[in-house]
Amino acid sequence: MQDNMMWWRGGVIYQIYPRSFLDSRGDGVGDLNGITEKLDYVASLNVDGIWLSPFFTSPMLDFGYDVSDYRDVDPMFGTLEDFKALLEKAHSLGLKVMIDQVISHTSDQHPWFQESRQNRTNPKADWFVWADPKPDGTPPNNWLSIFGGSAWTFDSRRQQYYLHNFLTSQPDVNFHHPEARQAQLDNMRFWLDLGVDGFRLDTVNFYFHDAELRDNPPVPKGEAKTLGAPEANPYTWQRHVYDLSRPENLDFLKDLRALMDEYPGTTTVGEIGDDNPLERMAEYTAGGDKLHMAYTFDLLNMPHSASYLREVIERFQRLAGDAWPCWATSNHDVVRSATRWGADEDPHAYPKVMLAVLFSLRGSVCLYQGEELGLPEADVPFERIQDPYGKVLWPEFKGRDGCRTPMPWTDGEQGGFSPVEPWLPMEARHLELAVSRQQDDPNATLNTVRALLAFRRSHPALFDGDLSLVDVGDDLLGFTRQKGDETLLCVFNLTGQEQQTTLPVEVASDLPVAHFTATRDGSTLTLPAYQAAFMQVA
Ligand code: GLC
């Protein structure tokens, strides 16, 4: 087992989307007590901790990613006392608790913004990004909101525009203002004092903007867009040089790290959406004086072949130094991986081998609720769409509701999530994949996850060992993981055909993991479709 202070390095973090985990109050929306009730289940997955998406006071226009009080629980989810009980139960089960911090922007209902928008002279006048219109009345520059339209909204009282990278109701905090920066760090300290083990930092590279408000240049034709936004979104047609990933952010991240270091054993994982995500991840997590970990959209987007994964690994290794990634293949913002990648493969077999890859990469892991069940993306009819982002780009992009539907605990009414109709519909296809249906089936994705994570726990090389790619042919992905005396060889077949390869290293023994089958004859390895093999290197 890991040194407890370093639990996060190689740790597996289970992401819970509170609205959709378990409704304990019967109002159709999940809540904190519902999560507490299911922590035994979470612990049974052999994960190291949880990340809770926002449960703070919020008008919920972006479902909690628009915070109006950073230090309290929204009544929809319960009370601060409920959170303390959750924390205590999690800790008693050996689970770490990370919470989401959305400090780059607030809700427009937050008292800071309410004050700031009054006039140009109040004490919080510059806590948000205000700028005069151009002489023709149009916005100060060409920056766009990810959720559609200009990133600037005019406020008639101040006769100025304010900046928002997301909804108009999510004004961007001015990180050039030292008091605003400090106030956000103080909000984080509140939760550290309460005993949380770390933070997922929303949009961590969006904190600063270019103080000169220079226009972003267009993306040259044919250049890859890696931000994580769909191509239908004009946001991806700009190079985001001036509205995010500004150099000043590095100093702020150092201040943030200094705060974390006052609370030993705590950690951070930043969300990075950037034109050069792996470069940014390397920059933000190297050196031990900024973030502990970060995730990008490299495994949250479309490509998924062995050659694509090799390319991502290679690119990251080239840049990495002592940087530390946290890999994710699904979360509350993207189409579930079982559909995104599995739809053109075998939707039942594919999730298992992909999870095997995810749990074997060098880095930590975020596993999204329902991913352990191999859930496909839910079909949410237009009339039930909740996500404002989905409404803007429909039907080209249907938004993020399809990955946010309620957890299927049983195959009964509403999947055992709630006694009433939930805020997003229970997907009918999820019922046959419910926890109760998979629980006792050794071949189910759920038990494959348990087996893989138990295997990861018992092999330090998989936690934080070095990774070297090995040549097992174009169609397979292969690498070794090495720490101390232990070297493991991991080979994955992500295709629907049996593959055979000659192993480039000498194998001492095969390491069986439940569900996975392979045959090895000396140095010849045969992997059936969607299978993985783990071996001890001589
Ligand atoms: C992050 C969150 C996403 C949210 C956005 C704005 O990308 O993951 O859900 O809408 O930030 O806060």
Do residues 337 and 430 touch, judged by C-beta distance below 8 A? Answer: no
Ligand 1 site, residue 166, Cβ cutoff 6 A: yes
Which residue ranges make up the annotated binding site for Mg(2+)?
23, 27, 29, 31
How many whole angstroms from 366 Cα to the centroid of ligand 1? 16
373 lies in the same domain as 264: yes
Residues 386 and 513 placed together within one structural domain of the fold: no
**Is the residue at 422 inside a domain?**
yes
**In the numeric block, which tokens belong to residue 367?**
């596993």
Q: Which atom of ligand 1 is nearest to the CA of 331?
A: 8
Domain membership of residue 158 (yes or no) is no
Task: Say what the pTM is.
Answer: 0.97
Ranges of beta strands (E only) in 212-339 are 267-271, 293-295, 326-328
Tell me the CATH number at 491: 2.60.40.1180
For residue 342, what are the domain limits? 4-107+175-452
**Which portions of the chain are predicted below pLDDT 70?**
1-3, 224, 226
Neighbouring-strand partners of residue 160: 155
Annotated binding site: 23, 27, 29, 31
Asked, for residue 140, whether it belongs to a domain, the answer is no
Render pLDDT for 451-494 as a digit per residue (tens, 0 to 9): 999 999 999 999 999 999 999 999 999 999 999 999 999 999 99
Residue 345, pLDDT score: 86
The total of structural domains in the chain comes to 2
- The residues, ordered by sequence, that sit 6+ positions from 534 with a Cβ below 8 Å of its Cβ are 360, 455, 488, 489, 490, 510, 511, 512, 513, 516
For a ligand 1 pocket test, name from 65, 165, 169, 326 the mutation site with the most ligand atoms within 8 angstroms of its C-beta.
Answer: 65
C-alpha 122 to ligand 1 mean position (Å): 29
- pLDDT of 1: 41
Question: Quick check: CB of 202 below 6 Å from ligand 1?
Answer: yes
pLDDT of residue 347: 84
Mutation to probe ligand 1, out of 166, 297, 403 (largest number of atoms < 8 A from CB):
166
Name the closest-CA residue to atom 12, ligand 1: 65
The residue out of 452, 478, 501 marking a domain boundary is 452
What is the DSSP secondary structure assignment for residue 144, as one 8-state letter? B
Residues 308 and 329 in one domain: yes
Domain presence at residue 234? yes
- Together in a domain, 487 and 365: no
**Domain CATH code at residue 324:** 3.20.20.80
| Whether residues 252 and 384 fall in one domain | yes
Q: Whose CA is nearest to atom 2 of ligand 1?
A: 202
What pLDDT is stored for residue 222 in this prediction?
A: 75
Ligand 1 nearest atom to the CA of residue 66, by list position: 12
User: Which pair of tokens denotes residue 519?
Assistant: 């045959």
Same domain, 295 and 347: yes
Cα 486 to ligand 1 centroid, rounded to whole Å: 39
Q: Are residues 93 and 220 in the same domain?
A: yes
How many angstroms from the chain centroid is the CA of residue 110? 25
H helix intervals, 347-499: 350-358, 388-393, 428-431, 435-438, 445-457, 460-464
Say yes or no: 214 and 342 in one domain.
Answer: yes
Quick one: DSSP state of residue 278?
H
- Which helix (H) or strand (E) covers residue 97, if one does? strand 96-101
CA 88 remoteness from chain centre: 24
Three-class secondary structure of residue 371 per DSSP = helix
Task: Tell me: do 281 and 240 sit in the same domain.
Answer: yes
Minimum-distance ligand 1 atom for the alpha carbon of 105: 12
Distance, in Å, from the CA atom of 329 to the CA atom of 312, rounded to the nearest integer, reads 13
- Considering the domain architecture, whether residues 212 and 65 belong to the same structural domain is answered as yes
Ligand 1 atom showing the smallest separation from residue 165 Cα: 6
Which residues are marked as active site? 202, 262
| Token couple for 37 | 């009730």
333 CB within 6 A, ligand 1: yes
Is residue 329 assigned to a domain? yes
Q: Write out pLDDT tens, residues 102-132.
A: 999 999 999 999 999 999 999 999 999 999 9
Q: State the pLDDT at residue 89.
A: 98
300 in contact with ligand 1, CB cutoff 6 A: no
| Distance separating alpha carbons of residues 458 and 470, to the nearest angstrom | 23
65 lines ligand 1 (CB under 6 A): yes
